[in-house]
């Protein structure tokens, strides 16, 4: 699979190595295809590299039989190439480099492990600056724990940590140099990263500051921690919705998706579900994306008599598309009649089902207006809603 449209000539490119089959992180599939938040691990890594303005193309190496997993994991993202990996990490990288070499357009390459999903742009900047001088460059972090030798049970001598560093990826190299180093590799021990291959070939590799966000995911707890780190970056948004419909002739009203017998119906172009309309507007408010009238104009015959559950589901899908998580919805219905109380729990359940939320996150309340105003006179119903969501700050 190739895509010329994503390839800038003679730009640095990225090679994501996703060939691992390790399932130590649980979930039954290799960790790079697991989900963190709304995206897979590899999609997070892909996006970080693809979004950087200096990176001209993102190439991938995957393991045998992972094509379907990859397609599902990437969604509509299009890599510049996908190369089958080899028996070892080194062979996988070498295969990916040969694919890039055949395209003949890379000045430098950032070789990145897919299992490091959170890649700050500042690290890419540092690597690209460092590699300009012709050396390789790797992100490193200082070692803060005391280090000792051990046979697995008894402690031996401690190891001075002031001259040690932890090495991360991506690792950046002038393309032709790292390609030649991989072609010349003769072992004997399998390298665990590309800096070792580069140094074996005589290349200088410099260290640039890494980032704790770049930690490699290995165990189940690492994925849970990554999920928590991602959640901590979300911001909370709260928005209101308000709606009114007048009574007209009829024998029932639609309220929160339920058909409730009444002496009148509510007038409206759709099914006039005043409760769902208020919640829909509250959700649209959290993403500052207009209101129910701008998404479903009353002038459009498609919405005549429409099930307002469709409006709510659409608003929820727009929130989800921006990475939003609906934390809570609270609705207040204002009318003298019909009585809401007997239907309250069924209404909550219907809204929870439409929003795919636990029942505990949906509140439905009702009040009369003490016979005051249009609701008090029984001329119509009003509803207001408050929605709280968390989403990436953008
Ligand atoms: Mg309405």
Instruction: Give per-residue pLDDT as tens, 321-348.
Output: 888 899 999 999 999 999 999 999 999 9
- From ligand 1's centre to the CA of 105, what distance in Å? 56
Distance CA(194)–CA(138), nearest Å, equals 9
- From ligand 1's centre to the CA of 290, what distance in Å? 14
Could you give the angle at which helices 274-286 and 344-355 cross, rounded to 10 degrees? 40
What is the reported pLDDT for 274?
A: 98
- From ligand 1's centre to the CA of 388, what distance in Å? 20
- From ligand 1's centre to the CA of 318, what distance in Å? 19
Q: What is the token pair recorded at 374? A: 């249009």
Which range is least confidently modeled, 28-42, 173-187, 283-297, 352-366? Answer: 28-42
What is the reported pLDDT for 270?
A: 93
- From ligand 1's centre to the CA of 274, what distance in Å? 5
- From ligand 1's centre to the CA of 326, what distance in Å? 21
DSSP-derived pairing of the beta strands 136-142 and 205-209: parallel
For residue 230, name the pLDDT band (cuts at 50, 70, 90). Answer: confident
255 or 303: which leads in pLDDT: 255
- From ligand 1's centre to the CA of 279, what distance in Å? 10
Which range is least confidently modeled, 17-26, 245-254, 270-279, 372-381? Answer: 17-26
What is the reported pLDDT for 4?
A: 45
What is the reported pLDDT for 29?
A: 85
For residue 10, name the pLDDT band (cuts at 50, 70, 90). Answer: confident
**Span 170-189, mean pLDDT?**
93
- From ligand 1's centre to the CA of 244, what distance in Å? 6
For residue 189, name the pLDDT band (cuts at 50, 70, 90). Answer: confident
- From ligand 1's centre to the CA of 359, what distance in Å? 24
DSSP H or E run through 291 = none
What is the reported pLDDT for 320?
A: 87
- From ligand 1's centre to the CA of 272, what distance in Å? 6
What is the reported pLDDT for 231?
A: 80
pLDDT digits (tens, 9 = 90+) for 287-320: 999 999 999 998 889 888 899 999 999 999 999 8
Phi, psi of 85 (to 5 degrees): -80, 175
What is the reported pLDDT for 1?
A: 41
pLDDT digits (tens, 9 = 90+) for 85-137: 999 999 999 999 999 999 877 999 999 999 999 999 999 999 999 999 899 99
- From ligand 1's centre to the CA of 267, what distance in Å? 9
- From ligand 1's centre to the CA of 282, what distance in Å? 12
How many other C-beta atoms lie within 10 A of the C-beta of residue 320?
A: 16
For residue 9, name the pLDDT band (cuts at 50, 70, 90). Answer: low
- For ligand 1, a single-atom ion, the residues with CB < 5 A are 243, 277
Distance CA(391)–CA(286), nearest Å, equals 9
What is the reported pLDDT for 105?
A: 76
């Amino acid at each position: 699979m190739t895509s010329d449209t994503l390839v800038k000539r003679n730009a640095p490119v990225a090679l994501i190595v996703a060939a691992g089959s390790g399932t130590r992180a649980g979930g039954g599939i290799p960790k790079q295809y697991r989900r963190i938040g709304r995206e897979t691990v590899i999609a997070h890594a892909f996006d970080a590299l693809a979004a950087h303005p200096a990176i001209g193309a993102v190439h991938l190496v995957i393991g045998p039989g992972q094509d379907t997993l990859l397609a599902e994991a990437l969604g509509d993202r299009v890599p510049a190439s996908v190369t089958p990996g080899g028996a070892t990490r080194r062979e996988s990288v070498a295969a990916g480099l040969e694919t890039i070499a055949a395209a003949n357009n890379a000045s430098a390459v950032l070789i990145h492990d897919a299992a490091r999903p959170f890649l700050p742009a500042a690290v890419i900047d540092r690597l690209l600056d460092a590699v300009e001088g012709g050396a390789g460059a790797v992100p490193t972090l200082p070692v803060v724990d005391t280090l000792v030798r051990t046979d697995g049970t008894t402690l031996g001598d401690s190891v001075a940590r002031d001259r040690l560093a932890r090495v991360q990826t991506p690792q950046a190299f002038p393309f032709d140099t790292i390609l030649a180093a991989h072609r010349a590799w003769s072992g004997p021990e399998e390298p665990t990263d590309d800096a070792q291959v580069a140094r074996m070939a005589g290349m200088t590799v410099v260290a640039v500051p890494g980032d704790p966000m770049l930690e490699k995911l290995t165990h189940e707890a690492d994925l849970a921690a990554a999920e928590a780190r991602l959640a901590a970056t979300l911001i909370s948004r709260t928005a209101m919705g308000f709606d009114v419909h007048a009574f007209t002739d009829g024998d029932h009203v639609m309220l929160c998706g339920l058909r409730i017998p009444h002496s009148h119906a509510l007038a409206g172009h759709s099914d006039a579900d005043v409760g769902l309309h208020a919640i829909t507007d509250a959700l649209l408010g959290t993403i500052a994306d207009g209101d129910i009238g701008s998404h479903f104009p009353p002038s459009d015959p498609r919405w005549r008599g429409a099930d307002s559950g469709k409006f709510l589901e659409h608003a929820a899908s727009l929130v989800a598309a921006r990475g939003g998580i609906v934390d809570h919805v609270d609705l207040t219905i204002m009318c003298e009649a019909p009585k809401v109380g007997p239907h309250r729990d069924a209404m909550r359940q219907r809204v929870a089902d439409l929003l795919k939320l636990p029942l505990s996150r949906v509140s439905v309340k009702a009040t009369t207006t003490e016979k005051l105003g249009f609701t008090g006179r029984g001329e119509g119903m009003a509803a207001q809603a408050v929605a709280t969501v968390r989403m990436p700050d953008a």
